[in-house]
Amino acid sequence: MIGFRNRNVVIDKWRLSMDPLLPIVLLIMAWALSERYYPGVMFLENRYEYWLLGGFTAVFITVSIVVHELGHSVMARYLNIPIERIHLYLFGGMAELQHRPHRASQEFLIAAGGPVASLALAVISWFIYDVILNPVYLPYYFFRFLALINLLIGLFNLLPIFPLDGGRLLRSLLWSIEGNYISASRRTKAIGSFFIAVLLILAFADYFFIESGYALVGGILAMYMFYTFHTGRYELNYAPRADDLIHPVTHQHDTSSMVKDIAEKRSRVIRRCIFPILESTDQIQVIEGRHIVSESFDIDPFSVRPAGEGDLIDLNNPQTWQSSVSFNAEWLPVYKDEVFIGMCDARELRFWMQQNGGVPGIWSGP
């Protein structure tokens, strides 16, 4: 099923968004291919044929990027990690997950999915142009370029620089060896910095001494890698305290008002929450967000039930957040010393508590 939602393309459950300037980049690519690349490798009688071929190729470069991101997405969905959306930037794309992989093997497989998809598309394109077609046909040159560009996309993303797929593969390997996500992220940052420094040194050496003619290309590549690494450093540095992971609520004694307040800030997560019944004094009772009337935020008393395993996180009780517990919603209430202190992304809080060997930081409270 294909539809549109908030200027995003929705295919079944896949949500695709793109940078508003991407069509301009496509036009520039079409111009470069039709005026610079294809006239150098083939002869056509009519100029519009170059533009037709160049435009078609530019579109399929974007399709290749989508296929690359779908490789990540399919693997993530196979591992039961939902995809928030696929977003296309000016020079690349990203498959955004609803929550981070919580095991090294998951991060490895998801990171590998993109390059595998690109290299598979390169092999298919190579087979079509080299085995099925011959140079007298226009599609031969199209599939030859498509094979080359997908080979470059696959190999480029394997560079061990975060947040490229190679950087994520490196972190997952270090994570599996060291058993700790935080230290693996720090080592990945150090190794990425080293590779960028090597690229910059090689670009300067080429320009001043080697003079191969590729100094400009090498310099641009090194600067782009530096920019990419700079944008991804926040994830590598991210080591939150409990204050960062537990979101306090402003209405401590009124469930409907609390839900309304959360809806004003994070309306999309209401149906993915389990809320505590704050008016209950005898035992902890909860209600699932899908049972709350969104217009009035009224609580249906017939949908209220006693809290069970997977309905909440108690910071004093590791049995409520250990790996064997299957959470009944993405967002759960958090208790400390038998007092409700806020809501949290349950998987995220569990992940960081496990990585830190307990509660990360000291909850200071509102």
Which residues are known to be catalytic?
Answer: 69
First to last CA, the chain: 45
Other CB atoms within 10 A of residue 268 CB: 8
How is residue 33 annotated by DSSP?
A: I
User: Are 86 and 15 spatial neighbours (Cβ–Cβ below 8 Å)?
Assistant: yes
Phi, psi dihedrals of residue 332, rounded to the nearest 5°? -130, 160
Distance CA 79, CA 90 (A): 29
Tally of residues, the chain: 366
CA distances from 298 to 80, 251, 289, 305, 306 (A): 32, 15, 11, 16, 18
Distance CA 319, CA 60 (A): 50
Show the beta-strand stretches assigned E in 92-250: 92-97, 246-247
Nearest C-alpha neighbor of 163 from the set 64, 89, 63: 89
Amino acid at 75: M
